Structure 1
Amino acid sequence: MTEVDYDYLIIGQGLAGTSIAFHLLNLGKRFLIVGDSSLPSSSKVAAGIFNPLTGKKLVKTWLADDLFPYARKFYSDLETKLDTRFLHEVSIYRPFRSIEEQNTYLAQSADPVIAPYVSANPDLVDVSVYIRAAYGGLEVVQSGWVDLPVLLEKSKTYFSDKGQFKDEKFESNDLQIEKDHIVWKQLKFSNVIFCQGFMALENRFFDWLPFAPVKGQILDIVTEKPIKQYIINQGIFMLPISEFVMRIGATYSWDPLDWNATSEATDELNAKLKLLIKSQYSVESAMAGIRPSVQDRRPLIGVHPEYGNVSIFNGLGTKGVTLAPFFANELVQHLETGKELNSLVNINRYYSLYFR
């Protein structure tokens, strides 16, 4: 066996790469993260909301019973390690659109599958000062948001101080794949894990995977009236950042796929917001990002079909905050112990695209 400098090379320091890094750290593995802070990142734009009940039909999020407890412990432990607060556990309030929706949702909330994620006392929520909720609403619990820019910046500093992070542009052509090791910039690694988000579309090792990237835009607004600590969700989300600041989102668009906020998307969000909010407000900023989504809406995780020491951790889409910790552990366990990956996320479901 060739002697290596590191066990792992991690490409990308968004939420995916950071989650992988902390799981490897817990196992005592030697790794180096390479990230280019000058590049745009969907993790830095994402609202970071975790919501166990989604959609108009009030469906429990895929694997919620596994993902949510794991994510909560992961982020809580990181807050202690990084001595910073970024996990905000707050309820999500869903105003009913009609009496019919009220009756439907209340009936659904009695389902034992749904009940653990619904407050038994929704009447205690009163956001009527600034939100239109004539029919009341449903309070979703075990929800909240992660301040991803804070988490990522603190994590970068943590790994930089330990000599485990390089802030530079990565070119896949600089990577040399050998049978039992990988060479990058004269350093030798046992494995490489690509955690590049949208940038994976330009990665020569994984550009054959069926990414379906989606552009999204959010707004930060300042309200005239103080805001209570509830995320509002009805067609759009309204995330309280502080007493008078809310983050509003999000749009979905496919053309053009760029990182530029547009007046059209701002107008779309404003139109939806005015149906919900009573309070006067002003738009302070607009931000856009590209979600690394996938055609079947499941992550892309696993080992390259030809190179056994090259892996990918990507395609986390709109639910990355809960998917990233759990599946980072799954991939690390797969690489270290051979534990089988969930077939719904394993990229071997798409190997035929590589060999065709």
Structure 2
Amino acid sequence: MPDMQHFDYEYLIIGQGIGGTSVAWHLHDSGKSFQIVGDSSMPSSSRVAAGIFNPLTGKKLVKTWLADDLFPYARTFYGNLEQRLGRKLMHLTSIYRPFRSIEEQNTYLAQTADPAISPYIATTPDPASEMPYVNAQYGGLEVVQSGWIDLPTLLDASRTYFEEKKLYTETAFDPAQLLRTEAGIEWQGKRFKTVVFCQGFFALENSWFNWLPFTPVKGQILEIAPDVPIKPYIINQGIFALPLTENRMKVGATYSWDPLDWEATKAATAELEAKLQALLSTGYTLNGAQAGIRPSVRDRRPLIGIHPEFSNVSIFNGLGTKGVTLAPFLAKEFCNHLIYGKELNPLVNIKRYFSLYFR
């Protein structure tokens, strides 16, 4: 392959959601040249997502996969970006999980003795008295080392930064304009060593990677204005209620597979409101609803790596519902793979699915 003097940039990044943005920052900090292609007119699951990071998930209080690695790295990554971009991005907020019954209370409290779980449980008194608007007759569990990322602000501020550095192109990506040869990648008159596809749900239309086992899921969230001031605790019991301010909340999320579109529906709104009324004891005003399509995967692990035949075509995708914590850490791993040849975690490497491509 020709040396770098034959290329305009080393990397072409297609997509500027949380995946593409995280890859771009890691390449930038490694001193690599790149162009990001983004189209802000297209729907984006990253802009719909609440951006919650939660180390303990599920009804059985299971520690999030790789939590001990993901969460410290994510806090460092977003904290650094806050300083560089001059914007508030990271909101460290406890997650309060009201108990549904005495039995659940006993089960959860017994689990908190597990040394793998205990670092993520508050040792302070139950904060239920601070939140009289929450139905918590059996008390609840306070999860720490949690919070949320303001994804729209992160994406907008990052785009502005990269635009000023001449590293971002705002345009609709047409795959017919991209030419791949053994000598490199050509796009709109520029030459690149490698293309990185970070397209989220739209990877299903990508002829290089549409063989991967994506199982996209539609989700809807609401924005509400509660009738009473709310405290900065995320409430999680079947659904989440995320305080944006003391009088605004995001509520979500639904899971549906048909149809896979970006339209909010009355049925999904009714489903969320029914669960919300069981969770909150206060009234509220419904201010709006949004829907997005999560780029989930059959085995619930991301899809990252290099094409089985073309060494200059790669993908960073499939982050699902935990993108805000997965994206920074895995972008670091992926960039080390691209730049230095370091091995990827086999649980995220698309090599695990090469048999689907060659069958």
User: Where does residue 9 of structure 1 map in the other structure?
Assistant: 12
* Distance in 2 of aligned mates of 1:70 and 1:54: 19
- What secondary structure does 2:335 align onto? helix
- What secondary structure does 1:188 align onto? strand
Structure 2 unaligned blocks of 5 or more? none
The answer on whether the counterparts of 1:240 and 1:247 sit within 8 Å (CA) in structure 2 is yes
The answer on whether the counterparts of 2:128 and 2:136 sit within 8 Å (CA) in structure 1 is no
1:270-322 deviation digits (Å, cap 9, x = unpaired): 00000011111010000000000000000000000010011100000000000
Structure 1 unaligned blocks of 5 or more? none
- What secondary structure does 1:335 align onto? helix
The answer on whether the counterparts of 1:93 and 1:231 sit within 8 Å (CA) in structure 2 is yes
Q: How do 1:1-356 residues align onto structure 2 when only pairs under 5 Å count?
A: 1-2=2-3, 3-356=6-359
Query: 1:122: Cα distance to partner?
Result: 3.8
TM-score of the pair, normalised by structure 2: 0.98
Query: 1:127: Cα distance to partner?
Result: 4.1
- What secondary structure does 2:42 align onto? coil
Query: 1:124: Cα distance to partner?
Result: 3.8
The answer on whether the counterparts of 1:122 and 1:137 sit within 8 Å (CA) in structure 2 is no
* Distance in 2 of aligned mates of 1:128 and 1:325: 33
**AA matched with 1:16:** G
* Distance in 2 of aligned mates of 1:228 and 1:126: 11
**AA matched with 1:32:** Q
The answer on whether the counterparts of 2:131 and 2:230 sit within 8 Å (CA) in structure 1 is no
**After TM superposition, where is structure 1 displaced by more than 6 Å over at least 4 residues in a row?**
none
Aligned residues: 356
TM-score of the pair, normalised by structure 1: 0.99
Q: Please, which moves more after superposition, 327-336 or 125-134?
A: 125-134
* Distance in 2 of aligned mates of 1:17 and 1:126: 42
* Distance in 1 of aligned mates of 2:125 and 2:9: 52
Report % sequence identity.
65
* Distance in 2 of aligned mates of 1:292 and 1:124: 35
1:131-175 deviation digits (Å, cap 9, x = unpaired): 110010000000000010010011111111111100101112211
- What secondary structure does 2:82 align onto? helix
RMSD of aligned alpha carbons: 0.8
The answer on whether the counterparts of 1:117 and 1:140 sit within 8 Å (CA) in structure 2 is yes
**AA matched with 2:59:** K
- What secondary structure does 2:245 align onto? coil
**AA matched with 1:146:** I
1:167-217 deviation digits (Å, cap 9, x = unpaired): 101112211111131111110001110000001000111011000000000
